[in-house]
Chain A
Amino acid sequence: MKFFPLVWANLMRHKRRTFLTTASVTLALFLFASLRSVITTLEAGAQVGSESRMIVQSAKAIVFFLPMSYRERLAAVPGVQAVTWADWFGGVYQDPKNFFASFAAEPESYLDMYKSDFTLPDDQRAAFIKERTACIVGQHLLDKFGWRLGQDVTLKGTIFQGDWTFTVRGVYHATNKAFSEDALMFHYDMLYERYPRFVEPGWYVIQLKDPSLASQVAAAVDSMFKNSSDPTKTGTERAFNASFATMWGNVSFLMNSIGMAVVFAILLVAANSMMLSARERISEVGVLKTVGFQDRLLFALVMAEAGMIALGGAVVGLGVAKVLYPVVGFTAMGFLPGFDVTPGTLALGVGIAVLLALASGLVPAVSAARLSAVQALRHLE
């Protein structure tokens, strides 16, 4: 530790260079943390679905309705504890750019089904269930548009024509981090009333008595409707969510590899600067050797300098990413709920910084240690 002032003095000699190099490392690791968090958030989204809930949808495609009569038949399948259903509404608030999830559901059974994923005050729950034209929204969505409890909100239907006005009777908070707060839910009956000959459930959600029954129940349900005009496709909610995550296709992979290339490029530049500093001071190494510094100590001094720049940059870059995103509430327009930098990402980032310190420090450190004092001094031109 007593050599810290020496390392510090070396760093401070070229203040500008030290600052720029550290800033490059900071940028690289900030970018690394951001891009990796996109991937981890998508993966987390794929993991959140419950293993004890199953989604029953049309085997033809998600846009097809399933008959209302399936409700009773699903409830009768052994291993099924509860059944609810919902329909994608796809409404637009004022401008098509204001994209968020809106859907119609059977209120009581749906709220019961998902009661462990969000909290909704009891009085708001009762008010929502009682009033046919009521809706509940996520806290984040409420804040985004500046809505209030009791306000009438009009959505323009994209699938179901016309203007639809709902009264906000409840605001829910997601207790499960990956459960979106950018959503609006209203009564299935309201949808059915306007389109009685058209609307049927878009998907059913079933609660299993025991998660181990999943494959058994899925097989029972799908074989029951196999030869009907509306065959079903049943899977756990987790598998259902995972299929949405894979819908991004290669784009997230591409983003990731592009990001890694960028990180590598910036680190290359930073390593270059660090090696430059070390090369410039070869003659000093000669002086230090002459006054009796050991080879091992010189090696350590050069490595310590590289380490301080790399780790200093890493701590700032990773720290900013960790703090910034939750503070500004970044969710990529609701596509990445619960966007956050995971501890794993932070650890990886520190690992990259250590590698950078090794890669950029090792060559000059070894040459500093090996150089004979005479040779080093001769370098002074």
Chain B
Amino acid sequence: MKIPIIYNIRSLLRRPVSSAMTMLGVALVVGVFIAMLALANGFKMALIRTGSPDNVVVLRKGADSELSSGISRDNAAIISALPQVARDAGGRPLASPEVFVPMNLDAAGGGDRLVVARGVNVVAFQVRHSVRIVEGRTFTPGRDEVIIGTSIAPLLAHGAVGDTIHFAGRGWLVAGHFSSGGSAFESEIWGENEQLMPALRGQVFQVVVLRLADPARFDEARRALENDPRFQVDAHRESEFYASQSLILRQILNFLAVFITGIMAIGAVFGAVNTMYAAVASRTDEIAVLLTLGFPPRSVLASFLGEAAFLALAGGLLGCLVALPINGIVTTTTNWSSFSQLAFQFMVTPAILVRGVIFALVMGVLGGYFPARRAARIPVVQAIR
């Protein structure tokens, strides 16, 4: 025999201040929990989306980032001619030797920002096929023109299409803006290799990116590259490479997420325990009446546990609502492996919301169990007297 749920709802409404404050407490905790997960998720997605599993990143042996790598023009040509590399309709290998340099650029509103300038060739747009021009056009080979990622463009002085941006001792016409599905490329400036290379680091590329004809033959391509006696390189699957680039910051974010949410969850559980114990204490005679009427202790336990869970669930849902507006907010931080700015979005996904609600329920059940057990064990005769 179950105690009707309406009993619990009416009980909650009879002490509106206390119920509302407990709920608000849970809501804030869940809101923060969701915000932390959304932050870590957005950061991870920005870097993971950057890489494709079909691509191979070739760096100088031992280099742990594009920044510290270097590959000569001759070697880049040899690497591009690898038989495992896909080719376009005209028979050109889909290989993109790239220059990669973080530059000091004037920021909108004063100061400066470190932004990655990446030199690419025309094939790069087929190798990195998430890149799309969203405003203006692409750069013209042979001219001093660049395109800027949509995340970083508004943060730069002279970043608008048609403006001239100054770096490496020259002015560059901003021909267009590009997006790439939220990846780290959106925080970069792209221009033509042959223009950027002499202006930046001399006759050396930092990285060669290859599109594989068959992604399953990655290991084969890797062996061929790493065992080639003409040069010393490391080959990485692109998706894995960019995910590994975020390791340090991800570790810090994860540590903070566990640390902060752990502490606040304990605090919230304490609060729920207090509220429920008080609820049980003030309703001792009611509970005794219920028990006298013939409701078994099991039902009383279930009823109070349900009440705590309901309170927490309402708090959890409120927390989701509070946290939703942060979705899409753009924030920036430094990607420590390239010492450059990386813009990324808070990403609230349905999975994260579900985790928030489950988190709230766990807090409610943990906080409600002992008070509910106390309620179920109330000695009837004493209480009713």
Contacts and interface: CB of A to CB of B under 8 A. Distances in A.
B273 A262 contact: no
A273 B271 contact: yes
A97 B64 CA distance: 11
B304 to A, nearest CB: 16
A35 B271 CA distance: 22
Given A61-B101, A255-B256, A262-B29, A20 B270 contact: yes
Interface string A16-32: 11001101100110110
B126 interface: no
A96 B334 contact: no
B102 A61 contact: yes
A88 to B, nearest CB: 9
Interface string A212-243: 00000000000000000101010000000000
Given A21-B270, A261-B32, A268 B25 contact: yes
B50 interface: no
A266 B62 contact: no
B167 interface: yes
Nearest to B115: A61
Interface in B36-61: 36, 39, 60-61
B103 A60 contact: yes
A249 B28 contact: no
Contacts of B281: 280
A356 interface: no
B21 A159 contact: no
B108 interface: no
B82 interface: no
A60 B332 CA distance: 21
Contact of A23 (B39, B114, B200, B270): B270
B291 interface: no
A24 B267 contact: yes
A5 to B, nearest CB: 24
Nearest to B267: A266
Contacts of A157: 62
A251 interface: yes
Contact of B274 (A28, A158, A229, A273): A273
Contacts of A233: 104
A62 interface: yes
A46 to B, nearest CB: 14
Interface stretch (B258-266, B292-300, B353-361): B258-266
Nearest to B21: A272
B102 A63 contact: yes
A251 B253 CA distance: 9
B280 to A, nearest CB: 12
Given A27-B266, A249-B333, A272-B25, A161 B62 contact: yes
B41 to A, nearest CB: 14
Interface string A140-159: 00000000000000001111
Nearest to B261: A262
A70 interface: no
B24 interface: yes
B267 A28 contact: yes
A364 B268 CA distance: 23
Contact of B248 (A99, A261, A275): A99
B277 interface: yes
Contacts of B78: none
Interface string A155-175: 011110110000000000000
A282 to B, nearest CB: 12
B68 A159 contact: yes
A254 B39 contact: yes
Closest 9 CB pairs of A and B: A269-B271, A265-B28, A266-B267, A247-B334, A159-B68, A273-B274, A249-B333, A269-B25, A272-B21
Interface of A: 14, 16-17, 20-21, 23-24, 27-28, 30-31, 34-35, 59-64, 90, 92, 96-97, 99, 156-159, 161-162, 229, 231, 233, 247-251, 254-255, 258-259, 261-262, 264-266, 268-273, 275-276, 280, 332-333, 335
Interface of B: 17-18, 21-22, 24-25, 28-29, 31-32, 35-36, 39, 60-65, 67-68, 101-104, 114, 167-169, 200-201, 232, 247-248, 251-252, 256, 259-260, 263-264, 266-268, 270-275, 277-278, 281-282, 331-334, 339, 341
20 contacts: A27-B264, A31-B263, A60-B103, A61-B101, A61-B103, A62-B104, A99-B248, A249-B334, A250-B331, A251-B331, A264-B28, A265-B264, A266-B264, A266-B268, A269-B274, A272-B25, A273-B274, A276-B18, A332-B252, A333-B252
Given A62-B114, A90-B64, A158-B65, 8 more contacts: A17-B278, A28-B267, A60-B168, A158-B62, A258-B35, A266-B264, A266-B271, A276-B274
